[in-house]
Amino acid sequence: MKVIYKTRIVVEVLSEEPINENFTLKDIYDECMDGEYSGEITQQVTTKLMGKTAANAIVKQGSDPEFFGLDSNGKEI
């Protein structure tokens, strides 16, 4: 059975102003590296997902399970 890895990364950012709601992760990263923010990864958790659970997680993100070679029930195609 195919395994899909779900990784959740928490980034803590300190800034003098709220982060622009239109910023992408790359924008935030750039500000932390070369701009006005201080930031660090405070948590990283990886979970193995298989079968229907993997397919559901993929759909929840707005993608299609076929992207990972799965059908909607999480079976390899």
Q: Write down the pTM of the prediction.
A: 0.78
Give, in order, the Cα–Cα distances in Å from 18 to each of 32, 38, 49.
14, 13, 34
Q: Could you state, in order of their start, the residue ranges of all structural domains in the chain? A: 3-68
The confidence band for 39, taking pLDDT boundaries of 50, 70 and 90, is very high
The confidence band for 65, taking pLDDT boundaries of 50, 70 and 90, is very high
The confidence band for 62, taking pLDDT boundaries of 50, 70 and 90, is very high
The token pair at 42 is 């405070």
